[in-house]
């Protein structure tokens, strides 16, 4: 797997003992991961379930079952990589979002549980009675578009990304989930989708400031920088999408962003400057402002 860390990392040497059973393997792996992950035991369980190609419930049901040499070797390699910081989702190649399994690779952002708030908001606000035309800009693994498509099979969805590698994965995910109402288009925001007009434009764009210290910490180090960084302040892409969306929204269309917890005021101000009204801001489960939505009555050609 070609995974690029964004900073130099220690090369851990510790490995698991041989001839372990499931319970012992989890215990030893959790100890090896302590100090390298905030969720050491869960990571050990997920990686062992991946190694044994089973559910975590199987691990709980069969704690005495022994690992064979090949399984021990595979599990060891995964624990070593996790100790180097590589995200669990890149090691297993999948991440759950909206109760669906998404294939992920280092070309895609790992979908976050927080982003389900955007999906929830859209589904609550817009019923399935009307056939809407929706855009998901910067679709990555396809998480937002596919989650919504799975709930609104009558909507027409355009999902774009600038990254062809990400789009390949997004298309695969749509195939896995038998989604047929999404068209995937490579586009630098709107530049290849000029002929479309939308009722809803959604985006979880890059919104991290270039110098943000979080970029050199934890799992984020391994994610594509082009999915994360948006200029000096983190607002470049939200500004660009908002300015352009005026030309692509139908009258009374909605623009809905996920953004950083500290970008509530800048995003509100950005939408107000571009004549959006009925602006709504939502907080995630930890009380942080993460979603801003606004409606625009006038259509600008
Ligand atoms: C924060 S990620 C979101 C991925 C996915 N929507 C999710 O929520 O998991 C931002 C995405 O925007 C894409 N992107 C960055 N710049 C872009 C641009 N100029 N035009 C289109 N997509 C872009 C990145 O490749 C990345 O997939």
* Lining residues, ligand 1, CB within 6 Å: 109, 111, 115, 137-141, 143-144, 160-163, 166, 187-189, 204-206, 226-227
Atom of ligand 1 lying closest to residue 205 CA: 10
At 217, list the tokens.
Answer: 């910490």
Q: Tell me whether residue 8 is exposed, middle or buried, using C-beta atoms within 10 angstroms of its C-beta: 0 to 12, 13 to 18, 19 or more.
A: exposed
Ligand 1 centroid to Cα of residue 164, in Å, is: 11
Nearest to 234 by CA among 273, 214, 263: 263
pLDDT tens digits, one per residue of 63-74: 999 999 999 999
Distance 189 CA to ligand 1 centre (A): 9
Asked if residues 203 and 267 have their Cβ atoms less than 8 Å apart, the reply is no
Question: What architecture does CATH give domain 22-92?
Answer: Orthogonal Bundle (1.10)
For residue 226, how far is its CA from the centre of ligand 1 (angstroms)? 7
- Which of 227, 229, 235 to probe ligand 1 with, by most ligand atoms within 8 A of CB? 227
What separation in Å is there between the alpha carbon of 106 and the centre of ligand 1? Answer: 13
Q: Which atom of ligand 1 approaches the CA of 110 most closely?
A: 9
| CATH 3.40.50.150 domain extents, the chain | 97-296
Closest by Cα among 239, 153, 138, 247 to 195: 247
Dihedral pair phi/psi, residue 68, rounded to 5° = -85, 175
Distance, CA 204 to ligand 1 centroid (Å)? 7
Residues 6+ apart with CB under 8 A from 256: 118, 121, 122, 200, 201, 202, 203, 291, 292, 293
What residues of the chain score a pLDDT lower than 70? 1-13, 299-301
Q: How far is CA 281 from CA 254, 268, 271, in A?
A: 13, 8, 11
User: What is the reported pLDDT for 11?
Assistant: 46
Residue intervals in the chain for CATH 1.10.8.10: 22-92
* Burial tier of 175 (Cβ tally within 10 Å: 0-12, 13-18, 19+): exposed
CA nearest to 203, candidates 279, 139, 132: 139
Q: What is the CA(109)–ligand 1 centre distance, in A?
A: 8
**Ligand 1, atom 19, residue with closest C-alpha:** 188
CATH code linked to domain 97-296: 3.40.50.150
Q: E-strand spans in 33-112?
A: 94-97, 100-103
- Ligand 1, residues 90, 158, 162: which to mutate, most atoms within 8 A of Cβ? 162
Please say whether the beta carbons of 186 and 161 come within 8 A. yes
Name the one residue in this structure whose structure tokens are 């190609």. Answer: 53
231 Cα: distance to centroid of ligand 1 (angstroms): 14
CA angle (127, 286, 240) in 5-degree steps: 60
Alpha carbon distances (Å) from 53 to 129, 193, 218? 41, 41, 26
């Amino acid at each position: 797997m070609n995974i690029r860390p964004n900073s130099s990392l220690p090369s851990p040497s510790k490995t698991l003992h041989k001839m372990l059973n499931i319970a012992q393997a989890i215990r030893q792996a959790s100890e090896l991961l302590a100090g390298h992950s905030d969720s050491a035991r869960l990571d050990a369980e997920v990686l062992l379930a991946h190694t044994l190609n089973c559910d975590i419930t199987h691990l709980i049901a069969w704690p005495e079952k022994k690992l064979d040499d090949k399984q021990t070797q595979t599990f060891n390699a995964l624990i070593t990589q996790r100790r180097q910081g590589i995200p669990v989702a890149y090691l297993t190649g999948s991440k759950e979002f909206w109760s669906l399994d998404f294939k992920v690779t280092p070309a895609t952002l790992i979908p976050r549980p927080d982003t389900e708030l955007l999906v929830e908001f859209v589904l609550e606000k817009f019923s399935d009675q009307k056939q809407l035309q929706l855009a998901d800009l910067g679709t990555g693994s396809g998480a937002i578009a596919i989650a919504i498509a799975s709930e609104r099979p009558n909507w027409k969805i355009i999902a774009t990304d600038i990254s062809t590698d990400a789009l390949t994965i997004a298309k695969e995910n749509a195939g896995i989930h038998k989604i047929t109402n999404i068209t995937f288009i490579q586009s630098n925001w709107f530049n290849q989708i000029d002929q479309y007009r939308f009722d809803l434009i959604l985006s979880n764009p890059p919104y991290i400031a270039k110098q943000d210290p979080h970029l050199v910490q934890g799992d984020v180090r391994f994610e594509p920088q082009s999915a994360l960084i948006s200029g000096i302040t983190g607002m470049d892409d939200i500004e660009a999408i908002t300015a352009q969306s005026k030309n692509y929204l139908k009258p009374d269309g909605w623009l809905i962003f996920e953004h950083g917890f500290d970008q509530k005021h800048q995003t509100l101000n950005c939408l107000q400057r571009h004549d959006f009204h009925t602006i709504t801001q939502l907080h995630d489960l930890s009380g942080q402002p993460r979603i801003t939505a606004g409606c625009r009555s006038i259509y600008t050609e």
